[in-house]
Amino acid sequence: MEFLTTGEAADYLRLGERKLYELVTNGAIPCSKVTGKWLFPRHELDLWVLSGLARPAGMRATEPPPIVGGSQDSLLEWSLRECGSGLASLNEGTARGLERLQRDEVMAAALHFHGLDSSDNFANDANAAALRTAPDLHDALLVGLVRREQGLLVPPGNPKRLRSLPDVLALGARMALRQEGAGAQMLLDVLLKRAGASFRDLRRLDAPSLTGPDLATTIRAGHADCGVATRGAAKSAGLDFVPLLWENFDLAMRQRSYFRPPMQALIRFLSEKKLRQRAEELTGYDPSPAGQIRFSA
């Protein structure tokens, strides 16, 4: 990330240094003080300018409600409560969250897309790729939350000795599924394709689980032998966990939403020590990407 000095930032924004210091004093501009000097991240200055963009009558941007849609995640839900942002959550899965973001029905969407590239390897940064191709999101921004560990949830003791998806297929283990468009379901689809199989080859439950914790409850109750979800969901339900991969779990939003007070409350919280402590308690999280801008349209 490129940082500007006070003089460079004033020139870049076409402001006098006195006005710039006034904005700094009022906490109205993104900046950081390092060894007694103010530094200004150039990329965030661009977003700050865009967030106050004036539009002619008839072109006013719709203000989305203070809701984070998309994928369910226990660490994110805890963060929304703990940071005092006032943001609510609406857990309907990754694809549904992105659709609502495009229609300005949510302020942000929690995403974990999965796919294969032309060589049948896991697609590099599928979340950013999804934003690049999403209609009506020319002003999209992707903020890192965490990396999460995904795997097979199995009953305590792993009675069927499942170690991989091929084991699930070979043993005919009953599998709990997520709804279409959920990130975990996309991951399962990718894993099946790499194994040369499809959903028809699975011994699966008919009714989908709407969240990872719902899927864990289904397995805990003995209705299924396994399912794909996070290590954190397994721990919370007292289940065993077979690791498969680490994924990017990010927050997508429009650039103008980034500087709204509810979102800024969450962004600031992502850099706090207690977020890292909570991530360690829940297990299966790497919080190092928290708060980083990973993609900007």
Is pLDDT at 182 greater than 90 in this prediction?
A: yes
Q: How many CA atoms lie within 13 A of 143 on its CB side?
A: 27
- Who wins on pLDDT, 1 or 220? 220
DSSP state of 31: -
Per-residue pLDDT band for 136 (boundaries 50, 70, 90) equals confident
Class of domain 3-51: alpha beta
Contact yes or no for 84/48 (Cβ under 8 A): no
Selection from 15, 1, 5 nearest residue 44 by Cα: 1
Question: Tell me, what's the pLDDT at 56?
Answer: 58
Band the pLDDT of 3: cuts 50, 70, 90: confident
Q: What pLDDT shows up at residue 175?
A: 97
Pairwise CA distance, residues 278 & 247, whole Å: 19
For the chain, give the mean pLDDT: 91
249-259 average pLDDT score: 94
Q: Where are the alpha helices (DSSP H) in 134-249?
A: 165-171, 183-194, 212-220, 231-237
CA distance 134 to 283: 32
Q: What is the pLDDT of residues 71-99, one digit of tens each?
A: 999 999 999 999 999 999 999 999 999 99
Least confident of 54-58, 79-83, 189-193: 54-58
Count of all residues that appear for the chain in the document: 297
The pair of three-digit structure tokens given for residue 280, joined into one six-digit string: 């360690």
What confidence score (pLDDT) does residue 218 get? Answer: 97
Instruction: DSSP letter for 201, please.
Output: G
Give residue 117's pLDDT band: very low, low, confident or very high (50, 70, 90): confident
Nearest CA to 84 out of 281, 294, 274 is that of: 274
Sheet holding 3-4, edge to edge: 3-4, 37-41, 32-34
What is the DSSP secondary structure assignment for residue 112, as one 8-state letter? -
Map out the domains of the chain as residue ranges: 3-51, 52-297
Q: What is the mean pLDDT of residues 36-40?
A: 88
For the structural domain made of 52-297, what CATH number should be given?
A: 3.40.190.290
Q: How far apart are CA 221 and CA 215, in angstroms?
A: 10
